[in-house]
Amino acid sequence: MTTMRKGGSCGRSRRHRSVRERFSVGKGRRREDADSVTARLRQSNRADRLRSVLDRDGPTCIWCGREFSSIRLPTTDHLVPRVKGGPSWLENEVAACGRCNRSRGHISPVDWLTDCEQRGWRPDAKRVLRALTAFAQAVAERGGQRRARPYLQGQLRRMQRRFPAC
Ligand SMILES: [Zn+2]
């Protein structure tokens, strides 16, 4: 039914169609420009946020504890993964070395923390708990994040059970 209506409207008037085409091309071009500006902005924001994360947490990987250097560059790691609805907020971001960030993938922070310990690394559990707590506060203040919220609360509960002293 949709196809029939579409075909009917296309065959109705060539002039009408060309106007629509021109309009949609123009719209597409504008959107492309806006996208590339947004991408550039997002990239510079990401670099700024990474600097802020390093200022806040110090120059070490949250998962393995190794210090960053020119051969071990810091990357931005989302505590609540983006696929779980975690936003690119400073409060949801920590610094990790490329190896740890890649190895972690979409594993939850608490599961990954356990993995790191089993590998004999020195993950910064206090930093994880501090970051999760700050993120939960930011969500409470700003609202939204309906997808990330239950995931975050689950992670916080598990961390608090594991580290009641923190
Ligand atoms: Zn690491």
| Separation CA 159–CA 166 (nearest Å) | 9
pLDDT of res. 4: 43
For 45, the 3-state DSSP assignment is helix
Q: How far is the CA of 23 from the centre of ligand 1 (A)?
A: 50
For residues 150-155, average pLDDT: 97
Q: What is the pLDDT of residues 90-102, one digit of tens each?
A: 999 999 999 999 9
List the domains of the chain with CATH numbers. 58-162 (1.10.30)
By CB atoms closer than 10 A (0-12, 13-18, 19+), residue 60 is: buried
pLDDT of res. 89: 94
Q: How far is the CA of 97 from the centre of ligand 1 (A)?
A: 4
By CB atoms closer than 10 A (0-12, 13-18, 19+), residue 103 is: middle
Confidence of residue 21 (pLDDT cuts 50, 70, 90): very low
pLDDT of res. 35: 76
Q: In the structure, how many helices (H) and strands (E) does the chain have?
A: 6, 2
Q: How far is the CA of 5 from the centre of ligand 1 (A)?
A: 57
Q: How far is the CA of 141 from the centre of ligand 1 (A)?
A: 31
* pLDDT, mean over the chain: 84
Half-sphere exposure of 103 (CA within 13 A, CB side): 14
Name the more confident of 156 and 8: 156
Q: What is the pLDDT of residues 65-82, one digit of tens each?
A: 999 999 999 999 999 999
Name the more confident of 4 and 85: 85
Q: What is the pTM of this model?
A: 0.74
Is the CB of residue 77 less than 8 Å from the CB of residue 96? yes
Q: What is the pLDDT of residues 100-119, one digit of tens each?
A: 999 999 999 999 999 999 99
Q: How far is the CA of 99 from the centre of ligand 1 (A)?
A: 6
Cα dihedral 88, 81, 58, 165, rounded to 10, equals 120
Q: How far is the CA of 156 from the centre of ligand 1 (A)?
A: 22
